[in-house]
């Protein structure tokens, strides 16, 4: 079975976007070599990418550009070549390589993907997709990078989660830029 991870940058107060949907606070310092090495190494693992429409629109506005290819060549190459599944009721086509759109139920579609042969999968951003996949027990690991910033209000990746989701910490890493990687796995115990 294919593995599904979530990789998200979060603020100290747990938001993946601020109150206006802005994520520019999560952009790394261009001079932070340790962080860039980690990100480049992380994308080398390959796999398919899963997005909701809003995250997809943010990603497609940057990764296929010359600026992305100059600034982050390894990451841009991986983002541009990876197979991408986008959940959207309004979008149907894209010029971004290897992009497929679906209007289907996220939990059902992700379950089918996990059970089919192929590369592992990663959800980036996409809080509503994360909530639905987590509620269905489909996520194998949450990789959250805590950024040293508090936003006060915003959007979490668990806004529509109906039940508590117990997790156990499996590894951490602290970066020079103040970011902290926190990796969690679901414990299997669910409930309210």
Judging by beta carbons within 10 Å of its beta carbon (0-12, 13-18, 19+), is residue 112 exposed, middle or buried? exposed
The whole-number pLDDT of residue 24 equals 83
CA 190-125-104 angle, 5° bins = 75
Q: Is 44 within 8 Å of 179 (Cβ atoms)?
A: no
pTM over 0.85: yes
Residue pLDDT, tens place only, 59-92: 999 999 999 999 888 889 989 999 999 999 999 8
For the cut 50, the answer to whether the pLDDT of residue 191 exceeds it is: no
Q: Is the pLDDT of residue 184 over 70?
A: yes
Contact assessment for residue 175 and residue 181, using Cβ atoms and an 8 Å cutoff: yes
CATH class of the 4-18+31-186 domain in this structure = alpha beta
C-alpha distance from residue 163 to each of 31, 114, 131, 160 (Å): 41, 22, 10, 9
Positive or negative torsion for Cα 52, 41, 140, 144: negative
Domain boundaries, the chain: 4-18+31-186
Mean pLDDT of 29-33: 69
- Per-residue pLDDT, 99: 95
């Amino acid at each position: 079975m294919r593995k599904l991870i979530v990789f998200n940058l979060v603020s100290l107060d747990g938001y993946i976007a601020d109150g206006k949907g802005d994520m520019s606070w999560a952009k790394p310092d261009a001079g932070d070599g340790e962080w860039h090495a980690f990100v480049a190494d992380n994308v080398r693992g390959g796999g398919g990418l899963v997005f909701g429409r809003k995250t997809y629109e943010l990603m497609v506005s940057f990764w296929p550009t010359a600026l992305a290819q100059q600034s982050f060549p390894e990451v841009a190459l991986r983002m541009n070549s990876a197979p991408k599944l986008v959940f959207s009721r309004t979008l149907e086509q894209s010029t971004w390589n290897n992009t497929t759109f679906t209007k289907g139920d996220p939990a059902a579609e992700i379950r089918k993907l996990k059970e089919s042969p192929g590369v592992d999968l990663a959800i980036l951003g996409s809080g509503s997709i994360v909530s639905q996949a987590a509620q269905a027990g489909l996520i194998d690991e949450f990789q959250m990078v805590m950024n040293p910033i508090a936003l006060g209000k915003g959007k979490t990746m668990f806004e529509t989660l109906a039940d508590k989701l117990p997790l156990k910490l499996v590894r951490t890493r602290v970066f020079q830029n103040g970011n902290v990687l926190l990796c969690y796995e679901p414990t299997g115990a669910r409930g309210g």
